[in-house]
Amino acid sequence: MPPLPEFLLRRLFVKDSLTTETNGFSFQLINSIAPATMLWFSMEVDGKTVLPQNLVLQMGVEEARSGSQISAENPFSLPVAKKITVRVLETDLGSGDLHINIHTREIGSLSFNVKPPQAPSQPRKTAPNQLPSRFQKPIKTDVVIHYDDVIGEIDPNVYGQFIEHLEDCIYGGIWTPDGSALREDTLQWIKDLKSPLIRYPGGNFASGYHWEDGIGPKSTRPLRFDEAWKASESNQVGTDEFMELCQQTGAAPFLVVNCGNGTAEEAARWVAYCNEPASTEQGSRRAENGHPEPYQVKLWGIGNEAWGAWQIGHTDAEHYTRKLRSFAEAMRNVDPTIQLVAVGQAVLSDKPDDAGRLWNETVLSGAGDLIDFLSFHLYQPEREGWQDEYEQNILHHTICAAPLDTERIIVRIKEQIKLLQPERKIGIALDEWNVWLPAPEDAASMHKVAYTLRDSLYTAGMLNVFQRQCDSLKIANLAQLVNVLPLIVTNEKSVYATPLYYPFLLYKEMQNIALQCIVRGKFYDSQALGNITAMQDVPYVDVTATRSADGSKVVLSILNRHPTSRTYVNIDLKEFPKMKLCEGWLLCKDDALAVNSFDNPDNVKSKQIGLPEKRGTRFRLDLPPLSVSILSLRKM
């Protein structure tokens, strides 16, 4: 995990919480990063170390503990959005220069300086003022699509989603805070999305999750909404509840087994619980829990980010490959028909010693004969790209170009598979992805990102990449579906969709055969940021085309990344049979930084639009800046 930037760490300190006391002083901390476990806590005041016994930490009404009582054997829980009072005894505040050190099991070391009271923070720069789009010269774009120039068949699983026991994704998000039932309001938004695939239970959570803790009798103790984080320590939501979600939404399940501190035998029992008939040992357990019919789960991931130091049981590629083989053999002994996803890594460069390249080579060489998919994860621009402020025009062009960098990573992994396992059709699984920039300063955690219209353009650009790379990319899961880097946001009373939701909603219209598109228009160069490389010749207008297997329907997606200029898109269908324009949809807003909220949930939303006039084999679209358009045609 890349180091967290100093400006984000300083947010742990609750502003204006410093209070002088008779024998020292006190202040408050609030974890806005991620759920964590504190292994030790230390502090310096004006460069002098405070004795551990003089540091007293207390969360709410729970028992207070001194720094000397916190250790790996006796850790201190750091849930998200819970204030912790720190009392510094027998210590003079001095000039107020504090240096705080927190070491956690999950996130590593959090070390930062703070000098309260803090100076008022500068507001984040907004997008520069531009002339209204009606005064901008339109971009001219010409598109040629060949009816029979087929790239390949798009696997619907590239439009997949991901949920994890993290913060309020599960409890209070998809399920009620006590985990006793699915939230009907959230469920309806998920149903409307028609997600083909949902990955569960993690993520990092999977590396310490023992699935048998999540089946059987459930706790009946009710939890308040603000206590929902504690529910992840219970067994309220587990395998059977997740399968109910999949059944109600029509999504296929994608389960990730514990390859961190779990065993191959434990994973094999999970396969048996899900897939064996009720006459068997594990099938009878499932039947006793009210589900006599097998779930027939076909897709299984073996571990999560095993190469990461933040992961329980993290290891090197050689050791992971040995574990992978033992897990694969044990699980397939139960059900030979299951498909397995191995932990891979993003290949971020063409360098021979690229860390992802080396990891993938070891896994493919050592276990390529047993796997069906090789995964990688990608959050752009990752934390090394986080800044306190951005020049928004530069950031806009970089974020909108980032999907093309993803496309290069997919191609590199495809070439590795072809070289090392030429006889096997191993697909690529991008089973965690999203754009991830710093959350607002008042956000409860770093996962509470306020997604913008710009970020929906990024999402549409990614979906276009998935279509173009359909010959190799077979699975993709946006991280995550609800409340964590969210597609959907909930509170105790209401639900709304972020701008990321609407490209997925629109792309339900896309068909399963991807066609080649030739696009001629205006290009730009973007700057590097974090794990996003600098890009040249990025097209402002990106187009993909799909058709149905029987050829009766064609659907186009057209993305205008330009922040201020309209585009005139001339589309030539001369090689197509006679087709008529049927329906059109548009997602746009005149502000790249527009967001949705509980107060204004429909600020960024897709809508149906009128159709252009078709003249012979050609038609022209007049599309606004900052827009995603879907156009449907049917054979006459």
Class of domain 134-149+515-635: mainly beta
Q: What residue has token string 């149903």?
A: 191
Buried b (16+ CB within 10 A) or exposed e, 550-572: eeebbbbbbbbbbbbbbbebebb
Report the C-alpha gap between 200 and 183 in whole angstroms: 18
Return the DSSP state at 202: -
Q: pTM of the full predicted structure?
A: 0.91
**For the segment 250-269, what is each residue's pLDDT rounded down to a tens digit?**
999 999 999 999 999 999 99
Q: Which residues contact 206 (CB under 8 A, 6 or more apart)?
A: 164, 256, 257, 258, 260, 301, 303, 304
Report the C-alpha gap between 589 and 615 in whole angstroms: 29
* DSSP strand pairing (373-380 vs 108-114): unpaired
Evaluated on CA atoms 590, 593, 595, 600, the torsion sign reads negative
**For the segment 214-251, what is each residue's pLDDT rounded down to a tens digit?**
898 764 433 333 333 344 445 689 999 999 999 999 99
Buried b (16+ CB within 10 A) or exposed e, 500-513: bbbbbbbbebbbeb
Range ranked top by mean pLDDT from 69-83, 92-106, 521-535: 521-535
**Residue 114 confidence (pLDDT):** 86
Tokens of 333: 């002994």
Element housing 190 (H / E) = helix 184-193
Return the DSSP state at 186: H
Tell me the β-bridge partners of 254.
199, 299
Q: Which residue spans of the chain are classified as CATH 3.20.20.80?
A: 152-510
State in Å, rounded, how far the first CA of the chain is from the last one.
54
- Out of 1.25.40, 2.60.40, 3.10.450, 2.50.20, the CATH code matching 6-114 is 2.60.40
**Residue 155 confidence (pLDDT):** 98
CATH H-level, domain 152-510: superfamily: Glycosidases (3.20.20.80)
Tell me the β-bridge partners of 584.
631
Which comes out higher in pLDDT, residue 413 or 134?
A: 413
Task: Give the CA radius of gyration of the chain.
Answer: 26
**For the segment 550-595, what is each residue's pLDDT rounded down to a tens digit?**
999 999 999 999 999 999 999 988 778 788 889 999 999 999 999 9
Strands of 348-501, DSSP E: 373-380, 427-435, 473-479, 488-490, 495-497
| Confidence tier at 32 by pLDDT (50, 70, 90) | confident
| DSSP-assigned states of every residue in 69-94 | G-SSSS-EEE-TT-EEEEEEET---T
Report the C-alpha gap between 82 and 85 in whole angstroms: 10
Q: What residue has token string 């096997």?
A: 424
* DSSP strand pairing (523-526 vs 553-560): unpaired
Burial environment of residue 224 by CB neighbours within 10 A (0 to 12, 13 to 18, 19 or more): exposed
Report the C-alpha gap between 529 and 394 in whole angstroms: 10
- Among the residue ranges 23-37, 304-318, 504-518, the one predicted with the least confidence is 23-37
**DSSP 3-state assignment of 239?**
helix
Contact 525, 533 (CB under 8 A): no
Tokens of 34: 């991620």
Report the C-alpha gap between 601 and 172 in whole angstroms: 19
**Residue 147 confidence (pLDDT):** 86
**Mean confidence (pLDDT) of the chain:** 91
**For the segment 126-136, what is each residue's pLDDT rounded down to a tens digit?**
444 454 555 56
Once rounded to an integer, what is the mean pLDDT over residues 197-221? 85
**DSSP 3-state assignment of 630?**
strand
- Say yes or no to pLDDT of 352 above 80: yes
Report the C-alpha gap between 580 and 617 in whole angstroms: 10
Q: Which residues contact 541 (CB under 8 A, 6 or more apart)?
A: 139, 141, 519, 521, 522, 558, 559, 560, 561, 562, 567, 569
Burial environment of residue 350 by CB neighbours within 10 A (0 to 12, 13 to 18, 19 or more): exposed
Tokens of 581: 């324009």
Q: Which residue spans of the chain are classified as CATH 2.60.40.1180?
A: 134-149+515-635
Provide the angle, in degrees to the nearest 10, between the axes of the packed helices 264-275 and 281-288: 60
